[in-house]
Structure 1
Amino acid sequence: MKHYLLKVICLFSFFIWSGLATAQKQTIKVIGTLVEEETSQPVPYATVALYTTTTKELITGITSNEEGKFSIPTTSTDFYVVISFMGYQTKTVTEFSISKGSANLGTISLAPDTKMLDAIVVEGETSKTTFELDKRVFNVGKDLSTTGASALEVLNNVPSVNVNIEGEVSLRGSAGVQILINGKPSILADESGNALGTITADMIEKIEVITNPSAKYEASGTSGILNIVLKKDSKKGWNGSISVNTGIPDNHSIGGSINRRTEKFNLFTQFGAGYRSRPRQSETISQNLLNGQTILSDGEEFRNETFFNIRLGTDYHFNKYNIFTLSGNFAYEIEDQPSETDFTFLENEQLVSQWMRNEDTEATNPKWQYELNWTKTFKNNEDHTFQISALGSSFGKDLTSKFVDTTLEGENVDTNQLTATNFEQTNYTFKADYVHPISDSYTLETGALYVMSDVGNNFEVQDFIDGEYVDNLEFTNNFEWNQNVLGVYATAAFETKIWGLKAGLRVENTDLQTLLTNTNEKNSQNFTNFFPSLHTSYKAAENFSIQAGYSRRIFRPRLWDLNPFFSIRNNFNIRTGNPNLQPEFTDSYEITSIYEIGDASLSSSIYHRYTTDVVERVSTFTDNVTFTTPQNIGTNSLFGFETNGKYTPVKWITFNGNFNYTYFQREGVFESQNFDFTGTQWSARLDAKIKLPADIDLELAGNYRSNVETVQGKQSGFAFMDIGLRKKIIKGKIVASLGIRDVFASRIQEIFVNQATFETYNFAQRGRFITFGISYAFGKGEAMSYSGSRRR
């Protein structure tokens, strides 16, 4: 018993003395400041860790603050310091002195990790496509041919997408594409207002190609959805870049991007200003086969623009589970559009008259957009989310034109005209989405969308008669267009590593009202439709997967389709709208295989689309004037095959290819004319991305689009090539880029209309564009290429 008591007393004494000895150890503060070696800028949020010298075990650690400073308390004196941060070489500090309870390491410079940076750059340089259950995601790299380019040029690089010379977007050769910005309708995605020009390549993170959208997405777009996702820099601290660009034809601009990230806030802005000029060559031939009369025109027009735009936004992380985002975008353009067109009037090949038509057009285009978004995540799962957003946008155009006809030979046709356009479009979108992952395999989604659109277009034409301008009531009109769409959806998904299934149903109600005020002509449509969707995927092997999908879609006529009159630029070739136009509906089916082997990947799709009440642009001929108007004509049954491939035979070169072939069968009757026919169309694209010595990259992109038969004639095919060259300086902090689009000036548009009583030919060409840009990045930003360039 005594021995046991003695042992307890000794052990108790040992613990007491050990505790006192530990308590008496002096606390040391290890302090210092981290900066970049090249720029001397602070390095925030780097990891600073203390390790024991003998056992190499971790003692403690901390991250540097926003100024790059750190302070670590420790009672150990036997330690060394290890500093690490992604993108920089790890630094170890073993020599330091301890004085007055402090180990001051001073200012520590971190050098970039060249190997790591190179690896990151290689991953991000080349645009690449990844596949998800109901969509393909085109991750936008720094494609050289899009230097100084707009969203339309980037879209033209996306597999399955084509943008023609007038900026009209098609998907797998079909129009009726719904374009979204960050998953929502946006004035910036309105092709009719050239608004996509305010989005530039450097602002885009990825583009989602959704050929068979699930019920989660708005049902608009018979051929599918393109969702442009904009960047929102997530790097902490100050980041940004500035870019200066120039080009031929005139394309001069300066732009920048700045981001400030803290634990609670992410502040971001992008801005640009500049001047650009876009020439366009055009030629038309209209032949009256009944009386032998012919109208020829040949001219050049310019779109000269001075532009300013700015985007501001902030994310506020209220807490771990709630994020509020407020953002706004404003753009302002001043347009000057001079043109000169020569006209010739022949009768039985004999000259009747020849004259020149000059146009002087000026316009101002303000655009703005704002958005408030709240995202809530739940504690049980970060994918369990609830999101509410409200978006408002507006696009305006105040345009005046003066047309002067001067007789050059033959009969006198001297005349003057004035036109004035006051256009205003306002959209409001309210959206709510709820995602609930019930388990690792099951997910439920539900939500609602309400879109209100209000458009007014006041168009006035005046003719110069007896020394004064008089209103031309035949062409003057005030057209109002109001459309409200309410959509509600629900989807359920089951997905494992091998197999996935997603089914959904969307219900949409459309309320459309149009009014032509000068004639009091009204059009009212109210209809409700169901839009089911079904998608499945199966991973047959590690490198082979299959996807299949079905969806039902709608194409609602837009303002420009419904407005009964909107162009007199060429009095012998007039485009008009049709206020009685009905929506078209499409049932879409698709099967896709994805195969990867070594350094190559291949995806192929077989698809079918059946469309009713197809909207086609039909030409009629009256008094030598061609009127082109959209009409609902029958059905279109389309079968297609598409394949996309990527191959990297060696590290310094990568090939990307796309091929699409379609066969279609049209059936329909318009004004007793039978439009039944069959046709084919195919397109191909091949890119080569080459890494040259001295940090120089080269990109070659070739495109071909075949001719295609239309309801009244055909549209010719064309081939064109883009080239890009880039040089990195100071390890990518400065980047110089050269881009040449349409190298051989071969990207043209030719449309032939061949009818029993008349024939027309329309030709258009934009020509070659050369751009050069240089940019500089600061903080942890990346050098970019920004010009604000818009649609071609």
Structure 2
Amino acid sequence: MLFSSQLTAQTSTYTISGRVVDGISEDPIDYATVMIMDNDSKEMITGVTTENLGKFSVDVKSKNVYIEVSFLGYETTSITEITFNNNIANVGIIKLGQNAQALDEVVVRAEKSQTEFKLDKRVFNVGQDLSSTGASALEVLNNVPSVNVNIEGSVTLRGSSGVQILINGKPSILTNEQGNALGTITADMIEKVEVITNPSAKYEAEGTAGIINIVLKKNEKKGLNGSVSLNTGFPQNHSLGLSLNKRTEKMNLFTQIGAGYKILPNAVENINKNFQTNTTLSSMGDEFRNENFYNFILGADYYFNPRNVMTISGSYAYEIEDQPSETNYSLVDDAGTLIQQWKREEVTSALNPKLQYELQYKSDFKDDKDHMLLFSAIGSYFGKAQSSEFKNTVIFGDDDDFNDQLTSTTFNEGKYTFNLDYTKPFNEKWTLEAGSQYLINNVSNDYSVSNEEDGKFVQDAGLTNVFNYDQKVLGVYGTGSYEGQKWGVKLGLRAENTDLKTLLVNTNVTNDRNFTNFFPSLHTSYKITEGISMQAGYSRRIFRPSLWSLNPFFNIRNNFNVRTGNPNLLPEFSDSYEVGGIIILEKASLNLTAYRRNTTDVVEYFSSFENNVNTSKPYNIGTRKSTGLEFNFKYDVSKIITLNGDANYFTFTREGRFEESDFNYQADQWSTKLTTKYKVNKSFDVEVIGQYQSKEETVQGVVSDNLFADMGLRYKLMKGKAVINLSVRDVFASRIRENFTEQVGFSVYSRQQRGRFISLGFSYGFGKGEAMQYSGSRRR
């Protein structure tokens, strides 16, 4: 990391090598700083950082030198006696003693999250944010600039869906929309979140709004380290987690074990108005997703030598679901006279096994630390075996057509991802990247519905089928970049072939598609001064219809408001442009970005109405052109108060035609977020986050605006080894999602509210492990 311009010309080159280890455990210390100092001037000549296994080697032009070795949390050590033999000096093993005071200072400095700006992305380094303490990845994402997570757990970027979520740069079962497993990633496991609004050609082209890459921590502290945590909350949310890590000279072994139970309530209200019959059907009730969950992660890094490492890891999760619900229905005429009233009760149980395994091999070349070849193979499986019983009880009116129902679902999904990436720096300015990716996704969804007839359950052929989904995507890419002291540019091209096959087994209806597309990208940056930079970028993206957008079958929890898929959906394509400026001041950082996104074949859910039943189904409806402005800032008001702000405003034009009706309109939308962090003293912190999301106009209606707040408190014990934390999400229980749809002949109103969540946790770190929080999964 450290290089000096004060090298003097000499005719001979001298090599100094050695190894840096912990003074107590004698475990190697990677990334320690080794500085070569001039004996006369006491100034630094050059410097390096230790590689794997704590080794270092450095060339100098003079023998009149001494060494200073330092690392965070350790005392600096000097080596003054260096003996050269044939211009080579091996100083042997250098032992560093721990510095307890420095360790305390590091803990304090590491608490704040911060945003970095790269050539083609923004990096949100996750600190110990209090509102996310003991929380899942969904809560962490909701604190990231430009990202919003709604009450249902859907993630948007700059107000747009179609986001590709990656784990460590790769697709994962944890981001699968059916698995709802992002909650199994907890805040303490996340090192940083990369927000890539204009991805380069290196990344998979999926996701018209951009990419969110969640980078997990890899705890490689030497010796045996770990953390244990206990959490409880209301509504019921109890978990116990244990993290362990063992690092030896050749191997790093890591594991995490967790178990818990949680309840996720959802208050739901729907009002369907039929203007042709002048009747109104209202439903109101509480839905629950109760869950026992068990998670196990095991992995190992094996270092063949300092430049070659292989990683093998696997994770297994098992969830036992219980989904009770009770919904009360009433049907009234135009005068408000009650026609019918009944109650629908649901008893659902499900078993959800999840499995993922990964093999990764990384080889670093000797000529340059960034010259590397990386191969990875990931396999994952998600299964669901679910059965539901729906019982209807008539309270008033005619009891015809109110039969009880049974449903059964057997779901199996396998995903396989293979990546090969090569990076070659030609010098400090020019770099070439090339690689390929092959994705395989196989799904079988066996769904059946049976209706009670004369005391027996008879299968409903119109709602029963097996849906098979088979998608393969082959991608190849190449990028070239130049990065000078002031100006940088990165140009890339990616080609992807998609082979998609769907089959409705019972009816033998197929829909096979094969298409190849090209996705160029261009990014550039210019540094005006040390504190002011400009950036610009362009990329083309695709959003392929997901499994559940294509699957024509649905859950009949509320059989008067159903959502179904469309096997004939086409992919969306978007062209994205942006330009922005970054200003870094002593106490503040500012970022202002203007952007434009043009999207074709936009997927929109369209509501149809028949016999008081509202059916929502996706279709490709025209184009959408969005123009927006985004502003982020961070300001250190004082040593104890920090403000982080994020604001996004955009206007869009929708043009489309569906079923002889035009859907042409213009609208705007905006959101803002403000985080205030207050350090009461060295051990006690408070954090408050306020968010506002304006109303959103859709092709058929409006989604209402939203104002809500989260807060957190944390108290550290035993010099940070133990932590007590309290978090409250949706402090004022104001986070409500309302949707209004009004068309000729009918109107539909829906309302959902999760309510306030309170979590109290205690965690303790042992060895060199830090206190971490584990909260298990959160259902979407």
Please say whether Structure 1 and Structure 2 have the same fold, judged by a TM-score greater than 0.5. yes
**Partner of residue 403, structure 1:** 390
Alignment of 1:257 with 2:243, yes or no, is yes
Paired residue for 1:738, among 723, 726, 729?
Answer: 726
Paired residue for 1:146, among 132, 139, 153?
Answer: 132
Q: How far does residue 45 in structure 1 lie from its aligned partner after superposition?
A: 5.0
Paired residue for 1:352, among 339, 345, 354?
Answer: 339
1:129/1:138 contact within 8 Å kept: yes
**Partner of residue 368, structure 2:** 381
Structure 1 residues 45 and 527: CA distance shift in structure 2, 3 A = closer
Q: What secondary structure, in the 3-state scheme, does the structure 2 residue paired with 1:263 have?
A: coil
Q: How far does residue 164 in structure 1 lie from its aligned partner after superposition?
A: 0.7
Structure 1 residues 265 and 145: CA distance shift in structure 2, 3 A = same
Alignment of 1:361 with 2:348, yes or no, is yes
**Partner of residue 757, structure 1:** 745
**Partner of residue 606, structure 1:** 594
Q: If you compute each CA radius of gyration, which structure gives the higher value, 1 or 2?
A: 1
Structure 1 unaligned regions, length at least 5: 1-31, 36-41, 50-54, 58-81, 93-107
Alignment of 1:650 with 2:638, yes or no, is yes
Q: How far does residue 85 in structure 1 lie from its aligned partner after superposition?
A: 6.5
Alignment of 1:747 with 2:735, yes or no, is yes
Paired residue for 2:526, among 529, 538, 542?
Answer: 538
d(CA) in 2 for partners of 1:337, 1:291 = 34
d(CA) in 2 for partners of 1:683, 1:123 = 30
The letter for the 1-side match of 2:194 is: E
Q: How far does residue 199 in structure 1 lie from its aligned partner after superposition?
A: 1.2
Q: How far does residue 191 in structure 1 lie from its aligned partner after superposition?
A: 2.3
- Note the 1:316-715 alignment, pairs <5 A: 316-348=302-334, 349-413=336-400, 414-693=402-681, 695-715=683-703
Q: How far does residue 316 in structure 1 lie from its aligned partner after superposition?
A: 0.7
**Partner of residue 97, structure 1:** none
Q: How far does residue 363 in structure 1 lie from its aligned partner after superposition?
A: 0.3
Alignment of 1:236 with 2:206, yes or no, is no
Q: How far does residue 360 in structure 1 lie from its aligned partner after superposition?
A: 0.4
Q: How far does residue 127 in structure 1 lie from its aligned partner after superposition?
A: 1.4
Q: What secondary structure, in the 3-state scheme, does the structure 2 residue paired with 1:415 have?
A: coil
d(CA) in 2 for partners of 1:791, 1:659 = 28
**Partner of residue 280, structure 1:** 266
Q: How far does residue 109 in structure 1 lie from its aligned partner after superposition?
A: 13
Paired residue for 2:116, among 102, 127, 130?
Answer: 130
- Note the 1:286-325 alignment, pairs <5 A: 286-325=272-311
1:148/1:789 contact within 8 Å kept: no
d(CA) in 1 for partners of 2:413, 2:292 = 22
The letter for the 2-side match of 1:748 is: I
d(CA) in 2 for partners of 1:789, 1:193 = 11
The letter for the 2-side match of 1:329 is: S
d(CA) in 2 for partners of 1:549, 1:83 = 41
- Note the 1:116-127 alignment, pairs <5 A: 116-127=102-113
Structure 1 residues 694 and 308: CA distance shift in structure 2, 3 A = same
The letter for the 2-side match of 1:508 is: E
Structure 2 unaligned regions, length at least 5: 1-20, 35-39, 43-67, 79-94
d(CA) in 2 for partners of 1:444, 1:142 = 36
d(CA) in 1 for partners of 2:689, 2:638 = 19
Q: Percent identity?
A: 57
d(CA) in 2 for partners of 1:344, 1:530 = 53
Q: What secondary structure, in the 3-state scheme, does the structure 2 residue paired with 1:560 have?
A: helix
2:345/2:390 contact within 8 Å kept: yes
2:528/2:534 contact within 8 Å kept: yes
d(CA) in 1 for partners of 2:433, 2:97 = 46
Q: How far does residue 146 in structure 1 lie from its aligned partner after superposition?
A: 1.2
Alignment RMSD, CA only? 2.6
Q: How far does residue 592 in structure 1 lie from its aligned partner after superposition?
A: 1.5
1:203/1:230 contact within 8 Å kept: yes
1:427/1:452 contact within 8 Å kept: yes
The letter for the 2-side match of 1:318 is: F
d(CA) in 1 for partners of 2:634, 2:221 = 30
The letter for the 1-side match of 2:635 is: Y
Q: What secondary structure, in the 3-state scheme, does the structure 2 residue paired with 1:379 have?
A: coil
Structure 1 residues 248 and 319: CA distance shift in structure 2, 3 A = same
1:89/1:113 contact within 8 Å kept: no
**Partner of residue 72, structure 1:** none
Structure 1 residues 436 and 113: CA distance shift in structure 2, 3 A = same
Paired residue for 1:176, among 162, 167, 171?
Answer: 162
TM-score by structure 1 length?
Answer: 0.88
1:618/1:712 contact within 8 Å kept: yes
Q: What secondary structure, in the 3-state scheme, does the structure 2 residue paired with 1:149 have?
A: coil
The letter for the 2-side match of 1:378 is: F
Q: How far does residue 198 in structure 1 lie from its aligned partner after superposition?
A: 1.6
Query: Which segment is superposed worse, 348-357 or 173-182?
Result: 348-357
d(CA) in 1 for partners of 2:426, 2:644 = 39
d(CA) in 2 for partners of 1:541, 1:411 = 78
Structure 1 residues 208 and 625: CA distance shift in structure 2, 3 A = same
d(CA) in 1 for partners of 2:321, 2:259 = 14
Q: How far does residue 653 in structure 1 lie from its aligned partner after superposition?
A: 1.0
**Partner of residue 716, structure 2:** 728
1:137/1:209 contact within 8 Å kept: yes
d(CA) in 2 for partners of 1:372, 1:193 = 22
Q: Write out per-residue CA displacement over residues 256-290 of structure 1, whole angstroms, 9 at most, x where no aligned residue.
A: 21111122111111121010000100000000111
Q: How far does residue 689 in structure 1 lie from its aligned partner after superposition?
A: 0.8
Q: How far does residue 439 in structure 1 lie from its aligned partner after superposition?
A: 1.0
Structure 1 residues 507 and 44: CA distance shift in structure 2, 3 A = closer
Alignment of 1:227 with 2:178, yes or no, is no
d(CA) in 2 for partners of 1:563, 1:514 = 9
d(CA) in 2 for partners of 1:392, 1:130 = 32
Q: How far does residue 693 in structure 1 lie from its aligned partner after superposition?
A: 2.3
1:288/1:759 contact within 8 Å kept: yes
d(CA) in 1 for partners of 2:299, 2:217 = 12
d(CA) in 2 for partners of 1:610, 1:86 = 48
Q: Write out per-residue CA displacement over residues 90-110 of structure 1, whole angstroms, 9 at most, x where no aligned residue.
A: 799xxxxxxxxxxxxxxx997
Q: Write out per-residue CA displacement over residues 451-470 of structure 1, whole angstroms, 9 at most, x where no aligned residue.
A: 00000111000001101100
d(CA) in 1 for partners of 2:107, 2:356 = 33
Q: What secondary structure, in the 3-state scheme, does the structure 1 residue paired with 2:110 have?
A: helix
Alignment of 1:166 with 2:159, yes or no, is no
Q: How far does residue 201 in structure 1 lie from its aligned partner after superposition?
A: 1.2
d(CA) in 1 for partners of 2:157, 2:779 = 17
Q: How far does residue 239 in structure 1 lie from its aligned partner after superposition?
A: 1.3
Q: How far does residue 122 in structure 1 lie from its aligned partner after superposition?
A: 3.3
Alignment of 1:113 with 2:100, yes or no, is yes
